Amino acid sequence: MEKIKVGVLGASGYTGADLVRLALRHPAIDLTVLTANSHAGKPMRDVFKHFSHVDLPDLISIDDADWSSVDAVFCGLPHGTTQAIAQQIFRNDPKVKIVDMSADFRLRDPDVYKEWYGLDHVATEIQPEAVYGLTEHYRDEIAGARLIACPGCYPTAVLLSLLPLATAGLIDTTDIVIDAKSGVSGAGRGLKENTLFCEAGEGLSPYAVGKHRHMAEIEQEIGKASGRQDLRVNFTPHLIPMSRGELTTSYVRLEGGSTAADLKETLLTAYASDPFVTILDGETLPQTQMVRGSNYVATNVIPDRIPGRAIVISTLDNLVKGSAGQALQNFNLAFGLDETLGLEQLPLFP
Amino acid sequence: MEKIKVGVLGASGYTGADLVRLALRHPAIDLTVLTANSHAGKPMRDVFKHFSHVDLPDLISIDDADWSSVDAVFCGLPHGTTQAIAQQIFRNDPKVKIVDMSADFRLRDPDVYKEWYGLDHVATEIQPEAVYGLTEHYRDEIAGARLIACPGCYPTAVLLSLLPLATAGLIDTTDIVIDAKSGVSGAGRGLKENTLFCEAGEGLSPYAVGKHRHMAEIEQEIGKASGRQDLRVNFTPHLIPMSRGELTTSYVRLEGGSTAADLKETLLTAYASDPFVTILDGETLPQTQMVRGSNYVATNVIPDRIPGRAIVISTLDNLVKGSAGQALQNFNLAFGLDETLGLEQLPLFP
Amino acid sequence: MEKIKVGVLGASGYTGADLVRLALRHPAIDLTVLTANSHAGKPMRDVFKHFSHVDLPDLISIDDADWSSVDAVFCGLPHGTTQAIAQQIFRNDPKVKIVDMSADFRLRDPDVYKEWYGLDHVATEIQPEAVYGLTEHYRDEIAGARLIACPGCYPTAVLLSLLPLATAGLIDTTDIVIDAKSGVSGAGRGLKENTLFCEAGEGLSPYAVGKHRHMAEIEQEIGKASGRQDLRVNFTPHLIPMSRGELTTSYVRLEGGSTAADLKETLLTAYASDPFVTILDGETLPQTQMVRGSNYVATNVIPDRIPGRAIVISTLDNLVKGSAGQALQNFNLAFGLDETLGLEQLPLFP
Amino acid sequence: MEKIKVGVLGASGYTGADLVRLALRHPAIDLTVLTANSHAGKPMRDVFKHFSHVDLPDLISIDDADWSSVDAVFCGLPHGTTQAIAQQIFRNDPKVKIVDMSADFRLRDPDVYKEWYGLDHVATEIQPEAVYGLTEHYRDEIAGARLIACPGCYPTAVLLSLLPLATAGLIDTTDIVIDAKSGVSGAGRGLKENTLFCEAGEGLSPYAVGKHRHMAEIEQEIGKASGRQDLRVNFTPHLIPMSRGELTTSYVRLEGGSTAADLKETLLTAYASDPFVTILDGETLPQTQMVRGSNYVATNVIPDRIPGRAIVISTLDNLVKGSAGQALQNFNLAFGLDETLGLEQLPLFP
């Protein structure tokens, strides 16, 4: 089999590096271009020492990349910087598929993008081509897409657990409280005081309360599933002293006489044939230790003590299923490969 | 000043040991009795090596303790074992004050105790004498009490932040969702697989969902404040990879046209003269790093994006204000001492 | 290809579980038997929740295992319990290859075994058949072995970095100081107070100073390489607040006018064709983050400030190259497979 | 008692902040000046949120400080910046005592300072007035000093455990190997990639091998004690995934027929009346958990398996006895106060 030539933009971030880690062991991928502007010219092993054992192309500047030489690019750039690059690739190299891990194309409405990210959308003409890359729910669209906007890590955990319930009308989508917890890698590799070991370690902090941008995606998708415009959910994230992993605890009100058991049954049916979504047995509670380093999501529904309410818990590895892993899963679909290729790793525990 | 002679029952647990740590530096306390049945006969420094620097009485069996020799006892025993001992002290040594850190006397109704703890209450005749030791709300009762039932760690964080709001009728007490997070020391020093370093580290787990016993206290007190019997709240705890610290995120519905600002104003007024309750400035978010190792609680109220809702966040050190520190604060009140004596330590950060 | 039928003894320990994790993705292995006496009858996912996503045989008691049904067994049992089982398999099922991860067959001299482990060796007649499974140094012997005694985690890190130097006579083997550091998983999953999260977290402890059993293996192999009987090395381990990973810092005296550069050159030559041993560039320092979750070892030699001395640093993941990974590497050799099969995973970082 | 007016320079670093934490509860100190150039104008609670509970002067620029208004200053500035300020205070405000926590005055020979720090010493005329503030060994000099150069954290741990042995001629000071381990707070609060949570967490790295500047102090003091110029020791530090705490494992060769027991006896005698130095019982091993948050040092001597060698282990909290605590202890001496004032806190465990 001739391998697919792949470039990774932003290979010096955690997301880009995890994509490289997975792509290196993917049987159909040939990693030919790695970009990282601030580290251009360096070998990847100088930037991420866990690559000391393997050979990789040196990092180059984005401006020096030749997109005509690749079949696909994964973008791990900061939000606000991907639109212009995608636009350029779209125009000049129509055969190149773009799998974007940034937020730049996730919101269908450019005005909503501007509201949340404070920036004008500079590639509105290609936004309609972007497919929201929540694999299990947009598989057909992803298969034919040129531009895949992979969801944020939190939205992936939340939507996989709540979308089937919203679609089936089992929960009141106007009364959803989502308490979310993430490891520190979710904040990226940039130098910030609050992600220093001594600041984030041995302690727990809520952040961006009432303001986190992932809310926009969650509202977009649950709103669409439940036929409500201007839906608002509560979403409150917390920074947890661990590197990887994410867990969302969603408090929902049951609708139409449904029970927690109905919710669970609906999830079991929805994901019966999905290789990476595990609906846990009995009352087994999801925990991040179940998924670390893997592309799996684990979910369960627990009855609340308050009648008419239930608790839906979901966990994933924010860098894998929440980012690079889901991107690779989408890449597989877009190139007609088995969805699980390169993603077979089991969770690493302890 | 003649010192107050004090015994600590259950000195080999984390709660007991933290009481010893604080009491050793308390100017009015003379620690004369330390019990720990399974370690009876050992020096305390063999059981907790951080006491290698100081002299302490050797550990003895409870059966060998002479209660007539002390003025007060702190009980750090497992629930279900304190009632009988308290009963015995009550009968034989009426001058001894009992500050209990277990759950045995927190619930006023013995039937509720049985429902949650699965045990018959064996000292029902002294239960009416027990004062619920939430210091800031029961100061007068504590001052004259012989038996003080210190609240659980979670209830302390939750009640200090919600009780004034419930009392003032600012929130709908039938629709409270409390997402709680605790460090691992909350689970005690007993050997359990889920609190091993490799199991609890680098990961996050919900536990006891819909079943945690601290709910009973929360419902008892919020129910009383809001005049509702059989109140039910949602309370969902999570185990966080840190040793100390606790944070509760309470999602509340505003009542009677109140706003988040009203809630905050109410808390500021309620605790204006309380030395250990800090209502944070502006939108400063509580984080456990603010209180580690200290008796402080930090709280704030943040408006929700959903109109008519607010988020009340509260944090404390589960072993100090959540247990041994509050016990010592109550002891001070009971003996007519300055409430802050021995509790002046500032938080340890980083 | 017909798959090789494999049993794992002691699948409920960390070592056994990591073997299962790797074996499940090994293309030539069919996992047919998993034993764990105390958990017999349970599904593996109840004992290790990170296996919730896959199907595995239920755990059975060792007594219920039929060894004639498998081609190989991996033993992850506590030391002292493997000799009798290996003996039995040796007698009854001569075609079954045994890859032992315990200490039971590592020491060639049963008297030395007794000295260090305090137990009589009960299978002395098969001890001569046991090959010391330090892959890179015993490849030929491993290829034909029926019984492979995989080295301890510390000896693997130490010996890979020092054996070629001792063999070449570049270091004074009578003056070696090895300061070793290990993550907590090295202590196993048994319930011990010192491996609780609150005891091992946020702190660092030396342990077994002057007494650690891995010294016996180190002395056996370095003694053999340098032709010295009764060699003694200093080996001092420390428990580090992390789950996986091990790093050894060896302080050596140079012999015969050798330099740190000579040592490094010797290591580069020795491991030029070894897929899992990385001698780092320049003065890049090994760190456990470079190898987590992978079968790689990373090593470097740094000149000491004191003339005539050098520092040799080595790191590996104690559960992979230090145990289950090396066992699988040996299995591959024993069955004539590519040495890297099933071990291709790159390190997981962060 | 009239309080001593105190300024803290560099109050926005971890060292400065820990000094503030301790000084706030010191009965004889009035904190009147806090400087932090990059945060000038802010309240301290904005820079360190654990001070949210107390009132402190706002941070000001060093240039705006009026040294004539204070009786003493603690300097927590980066090395290379304290000499000029000390010089200025020395000239203009002779009554102000300076307790320096930086490295600027620790090395008696300005050439050695230049060699290790790469900077010319700009206050050589006051260097002779500086007393090396290793409290237990320079108590008399400290009592009368105007300028106290507090030792580095590592030298404090190492020298307290080795100086009496070197002075007594019990160890060969030309053959000392010191393997040191430190928590991440030792690297300060500056933004560096290697101290991010995701980089330093769940992993272990040696650093500055053969180059760490604390070696200069160690060699200066052990050289002086043993009467050897140009002494060289091996000193190899490692970064450990914890915030506070430091442990040094020193491998020494015994001299003149001494034994490990002789070494221990010598330490017991040397520190018999020192309130903060604990020589542990029997073979109890020092661990950082014994001293966290306190001014204690814990030490023990263990016989090596190799005849004629011993292992000396020492532990302290790098921010307390290794920095701010020892500074306060020296301050107490310099002002004729009880040495333990404000330092009574017991270790925080867990």
Dig out the tokens for B68 from the structure: 């007539």
C286 touches chain D (CB under 8 A): yes
A150 assigned to active site = no
With bands split at pLDDT 50, 70 and 90, how would you rate the model's confidence at A105? very high
Smallest Cβ–Cβ distance between C49 and the set A49, A276, A290 belongs to: A290
- Inter-chain Cβ pairs, chain A and chain D, closer than 8 A: 56
Under 8 Å between Cβ of D258 and D320 = no
Summarize pLDDT for B293-303 with one digit per residue, the tens. Answer: 999 999 999 99
Q: How far apart are CA A282 and CA A298, in angstroms?
A: 13
Instruction: Say yes or no: ipTM exceeds 0.95.
Output: yes
- Helix (H) / strand (E) containing A48: none
Q: What's the pLDDT score for residue C313? A: 98
Q: Nearest-CA distance from A175 to chain C in Å? A: 31
The mean per-residue pLDDT over the stretch A23-36 comes to 98
Under 8 Å between Cβ of C234 and D305 = yes
Smallest Cβ–Cβ distance between A243 and the set D184, D201, D242 belongs to: D201
Residue C347 to residues C51, C291, C298, Cα–Cα distance (Å): 20, 5, 12
With bands split at pLDDT 50, 70 and 90, how would you rate the model's confidence at D96? very high
With bands split at pLDDT 50, 70 and 90, how would you rate the model's confidence at B97? very high
C14 touches chain B (CB under 8 A): yes
Summarize pLDDT for A86-98 with one digit per residue, the tens. Answer: 999 999 999 999 9
Domains for chain D: give ranges and CATH numbers.
4-151+321-334 (3.40.50.720), 154-318 (3.30.360.10)
Q: What's the pLDDT score for residue C346? A: 98
Report the 10 Å Cβ neighbour count for B269.
11
Q: How far apart are CA A124 and CA C125, in angstroms?
A: 78
Chain mean pLDDT for chain A: 97
C172 touches chain D (CB under 8 A): no
Report the 10 Å Cβ neighbour count for D314.
27
Q: How far apart are CA B246 and CA B152, in angstroms?
A: 12
Summarize pLDDT for C44-70 with one digit per residue, the tens. Answer: 999 999 999 999 999 999 999 999 999
For CA atoms D221, D226, D232, D238, the dihedral sign is: negative
The mean per-residue pLDDT over the stretch B90-114 comes to 97
**Under an 8 A CB cutoff, do B197 and C202 touch?**
no
**Under an 8 A CB cutoff, do B195 and C200 touch?**
no
Q: How far apart are CA B217 and CA B134, in angstroms?
A: 11
- Does the pLDDT of residue C76 top 90, yes or no? yes
Q: Is C170 helix (H, G, I), strand (E, B) or coil?
A: coil
Q: Which of A197, A240, A242, A318 to mutate to test the interface with D (most CBs of D within 10 A)?
A: A197
Q: What is the percent of chain B with per-residue pLDDT over 90, rounded to a whole number? A: 99
Q: Which of the pair, D229 or C179, is modelled with greater confidence? A: C179
With bands split at pLDDT 50, 70 and 90, how would you rate the model's confidence at C292? very high
With bands split at pLDDT 50, 70 and 90, how would you rate the model's confidence at C1? low
- Does the pLDDT of residue D288 top 70, yes or no? yes
Is beta strand A297-303 parallel, antiparallel or unpaired with respect to A309-316? Answer: antiparallel
Q: Which of residues 56-75 of A touch D (CB under 8 A)?
A: none
Measured between beta carbons, the chain B residues lying within 8 angstroms of D284 are: 49, 52
Nearest CA in chain C to B191: C191
Measured between beta carbons, the chain C residues lying within 8 angstroms of A45 are: 281
Q: What is the percent of chain A with per-residue pLDDT over 90, rounded to a whole number? A: 99
Q: What's the pLDDT score for residue D177? A: 98
Q: What is the percent of chain B with per-residue pLDDT over 70, rounded to a whole number? A: 100
Summarize pLDDT for A324-339 with one digit per residue, the tens. Answer: 999 999 999 999 999 9
Q: How far apart are CA D249 and CA D158, in angstroms?
A: 9
With bands split at pLDDT 50, 70 and 90, how would you rate the model's confidence at A299? very high
Q: What's the pLDDT score for residue C260? A: 98
**Under an 8 A CB cutoff, do C196 and B202 touch?**
no
Q: How far apart are CA D215 and CA D218, in angstroms?
A: 5
Q: What's the pLDDT score for residue B1? A: 65
Report the 10 Å Cβ neighbour count for C255.
18
Q: How far apart are CA A327 and CA A341, in angstroms?
A: 12
**Under an 8 A CB cutoff, do A243 and D196 touch?**
no
**Under an 8 A CB cutoff, do B177 and A251 touch?**
yes
Q: In chain C, how long is the greatest CA-to-CA distance?
A: 62
- Does the pLDDT of residue A118 top 90, yes or no? yes
**Under an 8 A CB cutoff, do C53 and A296 touch?**
yes
Report the 10 Å Cβ neighbour count for B111.
10
Smallest Cβ–Cβ distance between C196 and the set B189, B202, B242 belongs to: B189
Please write down the HEC assignment for all residues of chain B. CCCEEEEEECCCCHHHHHHHHHHHCCCCEEEEEEECHHHCCCCHHHHCHHHCCCCCCCEECHHHCCHHHCCEEEECCCCCCHHHHHHHHHHHCCCCEEEECCCCCCCCCHHHHHHHHCCCCCCCCCHHHEEECCHHHCHHHHHCCCEEECCCHHHHHHHHHHHHHHHCCCECCCCCEEEEEECHHHHCCCCCHHHEHHHHCCCCEECCCCCCCHHHHHHHHHHHHHCCCCCCCEEEEEECCCCCCEEEEEEEEECCCCCHHHHHHHHHHHCCCCCCEEECCCCCCCCHHHCCCCCCEEEEEEECCCCCEEEEEEEECCCHHHHHHHHHHHHHHHCCCCCCCCCCCCCCCC
Report the 10 Å Cβ neighbour count for D267.
24
The letter for the amino acid at D276 is F
- Helix (H) / strand (E) containing A152: none
- Does the pLDDT of residue C2 top 70, yes or no? yes
D306 touches chain C (CB under 8 A): yes
Q: What's the pLDDT score for residue C317? A: 98
Q: What's the pLDDT score for residue B164? A: 98
**Residue C255: left if φ>0, alpha if ψ -120 to 50, beta else—which one?**
beta
Q: What's the pLDDT score for residue C181? A: 98
**Under an 8 A CB cutoff, do D53 and B350 touch?**
no
Q: What's the pLDDT score for residue D1? A: 65
Under 8 Å between Cβ of D330 and D142 = yes
Summarize pLDDT for A9-24 with one digit per residue, the tens. Answer: 999 999 999 999 999 9
Q: Nearest-CA distance from B162 to chain D in Å? A: 20
Q: What's the pLDDT score for residue A22? A: 98
Q: What's the pLDDT score for residue A1? A: 66
